[in-house]
A and B are shown apart, each in its own frame.
Chain A
Amino acid sequence: MAEPKTKYDRQLRIWGEQGQSALEKASVCLLNCGPTGSETLKNLVLGGIGSITVIDGSKVEVGDLGNNFMLDESCVGESKAKSVCAFLQELNDAVKAKFIEEYPEALIEMNPPFFSQFTLVVATQLGEEKMIKLDRICREANVMLIFARSYGLTGFVRISVKEHTVVESKPDHFLDDLRLNNPWPELRKFAETFDLNVPDPVAHKHTPYVVILIKMSEEWTNSHGGSLPSTREEKREFKELLKSKMVAIDEDNYKEAIEASFKVFAPPGIKLALSKVLQSADSSFFPFSIAIGSDLQQIINDSSVELSSTSSDFWVMVAALKEFIATEGGGEAPLEGSIPDMTSSTERYVNLQKIYQAKAEADCLAIEQRVRNNLKKLGREPESISKATIKSFCRNARKLKVCRYRLLEDEFSNPSVPDIQKYLTDEDYSVAMGFYILLRAVDRFAANYNNYPGEFDGPMDEDISRLKTTAVSVLNDLGCNGSTLTEDLINEMCRFGAAELHAVAAFIGGVASQEVIKVVFLS
Chain B
Amino acid sequence: MIKLFKVKEKQRENAENANGKTPVKKQSAGELRLHRDISELNLPKTCSITFPNGKDDLMNFEVSIRPDEGYYVGGTFVFTFQVSPIYPHEAPKVKCKTKVYHPNIDLEGNVCLNILREDWKPVLNINTIIYGLFHLFTQPNYEDPLNHEAAAVLRDNPKLFESNVRRAMAGGYVGQTFFIRCI
Partners in one complex: yes
Q: Which A residues form the contact surface with B (CB < 8 A)?
A: 201-202, 205, 250
| Bound-complex Cα distance A85 to B46 (A) | 73
Which B residues are in CB contact (< 8 Å) with A250?
A: 114
A206 and chain B: residue at smallest CB distance: B143
* Interface residue from B114, B143, B155 paired with A205 (Cβ < 8 Å): B143
- Within residues 109 to 167 of chain B, which ones have a CB less than 8 A from any CB in chain A? 114, 142-143, 155
Dominant SS at the A interface?
helix
User: Looking at chain B, what size class is its interface with the partner chain?
Assistant: under 10
Question: How many Å from the CB of B86 to the closest CB on chain A?
Answer: 24
| Bound-complex Cα distance A201 to B142 (A) | 10
| Bound-complex Cα distance A250 to B114 (A) | 10
Question: How many Å from the CB of A517 to the closest CB on chain B?
Answer: 33
Query: Among the interface residues B114, B142, B143, B155, which one has the most CB atoms of the partner chain A within 10 A?
Result: B143
Query: Among the interface residues A201, A202, A205, which one has the most CB atoms of the partner chain B within 10 A?
Result: A202
Which A residues are in CB contact (< 8 Å) with B114?
A: 250
Which B residues are in CB contact (< 8 Å) with A202?
A: 142-143, 155
| Bound-complex Cα distance A45 to B143 (A) | 54
Question: How many Å from the CB of A479 to the closest CB on chain B?
Answer: 45
Which A residues are in CB contact (< 8 Å) with B143?
A: 201-202, 205
| Bound-complex Cα distance A205 to B145 (A) | 13
> What are 6 A-B contacts defined by CB distance under 8 Å?
A201-B143, A202-B142, A202-B143, A202-B155, A205-B143, A250-B114
Question: How many Å from the CB of B156 to the closest CB on chain A?
Answer: 12
| Bound-complex Cα distance A201 to B155 (A) | 11
Which B residues are in CB contact (< 8 Å) with A205?
A: 143
The 6 closest A-B pairs by CB, nearest first: A202-B143, A201-B143, A205-B143, A202-B142, A250-B114, A202-B155
Question: How many Å from the CB of B119 to the closest CB on chain A?
Answer: 9
Question: How many Å from the CB of B103 to the closest CB on chain A?
Answer: 12
A205 and chain B: residue at smallest CB distance: B143
| Bound-complex Cα distance A201 to B143 (A) | 8
Which B residues are in CB contact (< 8 Å) with A201?
A: 143
| Bound-complex Cα distance A205 to B114 (A) | 15
Which A residues are in CB contact (< 8 Å) with B155?
A: 202
Question: How many Å from the CB of A53 to the closest CB on chain B?
Answer: 42
How would residues 86 to 116 of chain B score, 1 for a CB under 8 Å from any chain A CB and 0 otherwise?
0000000000000000000000000000100
How would residues 39 to 52 of chain B score, 1 for a CB under 8 Å from any chain A CB and 0 otherwise?
00000000000000
A202 and chain B: residue at smallest CB distance: B143
A248 and chain B: residue at smallest CB distance: B143
Which A residues are in CB contact (< 8 Å) with B142?
A: 202
| Bound-complex Cα distance A48 to B143 (A) | 51
Question: How many Å from the CB of A247 to the closest CB on chain B?
Answer: 11
| Bound-complex Cα distance A183 to B89 (A) | 41
B114 and chain A: residue at smallest CB distance: A250
Question: How many Å from the CB of B136 to the closest CB on chain A?
Answer: 13
| Bound-complex Cα distance A162 to B109 (A) | 62
| Bound-complex Cα distance A250 to B141 (A) | 12
| Bound-complex Cα distance A486 to B132 (A) | 63
Question: How many Å from the CB of A202 to the closest CB on chain B?
Answer: 5
B145 and chain A: residue at smallest CB distance: A202
| Bound-complex Cα distance A479 to B9 (A) | 55
Question: How many Å from the CB of A344 to the closest CB on chain B?
Answer: 13
| Bound-complex Cα distance A227 to B114 (A) | 38
Question: How many Å from the CB of B162 to the closest CB on chain A?
Answer: 20
| Bound-complex Cα distance A205 to B142 (A) | 12
Question: How many Å from the CB of A477 to the closest CB on chain B?
Answer: 43
B142 and chain A: residue at smallest CB distance: A202
Question: How many Å from the CB of B140 to the closest CB on chain A?
Answer: 14
| Bound-complex Cα distance A205 to B143 (A) | 9
| Bound-complex Cα distance A202 to B155 (A) | 10
Question: How many Å from the CB of B138 to the closest CB on chain A?
Answer: 16
| Bound-complex Cα distance A391 to B155 (A) | 46
A251 and chain B: residue at smallest CB distance: B143
| Bound-complex Cα distance A250 to B142 (A) | 13
Question: How many Å from the CB of B165 to the closest CB on chain A?
Answer: 21
| Bound-complex Cα distance A385 to B7 (A) | 70
Question: How many Å from the CB of A487 to the closest CB on chain B?
Answer: 27
Question: How many Å from the CB of B124 to the closest CB on chain A?
Answer: 16
B155 and chain A: residue at smallest CB distance: A202
| Bound-complex Cα distance A489 to B65 (A) | 69
| Bound-complex Cα distance A268 to B142 (A) | 40
| Bound-complex Cα distance A205 to B141 (A) | 13
| Bound-complex Cα distance A458 to B143 (A) | 81
Question: How many Å from the CB of B71 to the closest CB on chain A?
Answer: 19
| Bound-complex Cα distance A250 to B143 (A) | 11
Question: How many Å from the CB of B118 to the closest CB on chain A?
Answer: 9
| Bound-complex Cα distance A201 to B144 (A) | 11
| Bound-complex Cα distance A457 to B82 (A) | 63
Question: How many Å from the CB of A353 to the closest CB on chain B?
Answer: 21
B151 and chain A: residue at smallest CB distance: A202
Question: How many Å from the CB of B126 to the closest CB on chain A?
Answer: 22
| Bound-complex Cα distance A202 to B151 (A) | 12
A204 and chain B: residue at smallest CB distance: B143
| Bound-complex Cα distance A202 to B143 (A) | 6
| Bound-complex Cα distance A423 to B161 (A) | 73
A201 and chain B: residue at smallest CB distance: B143
Question: How many Å from the CB of A320 to the closest CB on chain B?
Answer: 43
